Amino acid sequence: MTPPKTAETSVPVHPLLAQRWSPRGLDATHALDERAVQALLEAARWAPSANNSQPWRFLVGRRGDDTFTRLLGVLAPGNRSWAHAASALVLVAAQTVDDAGRPRPWALFDAGQAVAVLSVQAEADGLSVHQMDGFDTDAARHEFGLDAELTPLVVLAVGRHDPHAKLPDPLAARERASRSREPLEALLLAAPGAASRAA
Ligand SMILES: Cc1cc2nc3c(=O)[nH]c(=O)nc-3n(C[C@H](O)[C@H](O)[C@H](O)COP(=O)(O)O)c2cc1C
């Protein structure tokens, strides 16, 4: 059974943010309907982006369909060992060059924001998202015929958390581990010459 994973914050943050985490134990019987998938993609679609360039692209497979099986096939074995139970796998790519051939320097940043809001929407809908960079990007390019302008970034495992799911070691232990973060102070840069201010 997974212990509580809610973030311990110095001041309250929105429950959707505090409760979001990345489980590997997913309910292999849960199915996502079309509307649920659409809500996630809509949330991502309305993310902010540099110059409203919207460089994010998504390839969605639902468990049981051909795209899901092919996405599962490009995952690193460690990820495949649990992500097979996801209700959907979503390949996220960024279009780093626009249609006129101009570079989009913020494309990766923008795609990350789209995934962040998608993850919060998932939490609001009772779903979990676990991002994975552990996949073979060349194999994904080849398998799905991705253009050179597209940079594959992550595969998302989307599903319903199952606290009783059986996981192989050492993943079972990691699932039970408490979540941690750097202290807030460690993230703050000091502006040279500025008077220090108590947080
Ligand atoms: C870009 C990115 C890549 C990640 N790749 C993997 C991965 O390949 N396999 C995995 O199990 N978790 C992966 N994770 C999940 C992180 O390990 C996880 O988000 C982090 O430990 C914080 O845990 P939390 O999301 O539960 O707060 C990835 C997360 C991100 C944002």
Among 89, 108, 131, 180, residue to substitute to test ligand 1 (most atoms within 8 Å of Cβ) = 131
* Annotated domain spans of the chain: 15-161
Q: Which atom of ligand 1 is nearest to the CA of 171?
A: 11
Residue-by-residue pLDDT tens, the chain, 199 positions: 777 899 999 999 999 999 999 999 999 999 999 999 999 999 999 999 999 999 999 999 999 999 999 999 999 999 999 999 999 999 999 999 999 999 999 999 999 999 999 999 999 999 999 999 999 999 999 999 999 999 999 999 999 999 999 999 999 999 999 999 999 999 999 999 887 665 5
**Block residue for tokens 């000091």:** 190
- Domain 15-161 class? alpha beta
134 lines ligand 1 (CB under 6 A): yes
Q: Which residues contact 135 (CB under 8 A, 6 or more apart)?
A: 74, 75, 76, 79, 152, 154, 155
- pLDDT of 197 reads 60
CB 86 within 8 A of CB 160: no
What pLDDT is attached to residue 195?
Answer: 73
CA nearest ligand 1 atom 4, residue = 132
Query: Ligand 1 within 6 A of 119 CB?
Result: no
